[in-house]
Amino acid sequence: MNDVTISYWAVLVAALINMAVGAIWYSQAMFAQQWSELIGRKMTAMRANAGPGYGVALVAALVQAFVLAHFVQYAGASGIISGAETGLVAWLGFVATTSAANTVFAGRPWKLWAIDAGYFLVVLVINGAVLAIWT
């Protein structure tokens, strides 16, 4: 692989953006109710075991930001638009497609796919832009 220079501060900020968007996206004001109904679990039951979920989500957000920082560098993205485009392409190639296949095989509703994939679309586009201007 090519050598890239990664700003670990940018990766940390991108991971925190990921978590903040998730907190908003899956809040009662946005999609929490629909999402819990679609997965067939009550929010109260999920809150009881939320600690490990948040831990895994944070590690995943850090890894995702680190890998996206590489993609941004490989793409030569250096501005907000090109960074956002890189995030969009990453989402299209890796999130939209794999989660769509999983949705079909698991027999899950497309509305659930739209909520979950939409979250990652927003995160990857924002973080692509942030990482492009920072690194």
What pTM does this model have?
A: 0.94
pLDDT of amino acid 35:
94
Collapsed DSSP state (helix, strand, coil) of residue 2:
coil
Whether residue 6 is predicted with pLDDT greater than 80 in this model: the reply is: yes
Q: What is the pLDDT of residue 1?
A: 66
Q: Give CA–CA dist 7/68, Å, rounded.
A: 12
Nearest in space to 75 (alpha carbons), one of 6, 116, 132: 132
Cβ atoms 129, 70 nearer than 8 A: no
Domain borders along the chain are: 8-134
pLDDT cut 90: percent of the chain above it: 85
Distance CA 128, CA 91 (A): 10
pLDDT in tens, 17-53: 999 999 999 999 999 999 999 998 887 777 777 888 8
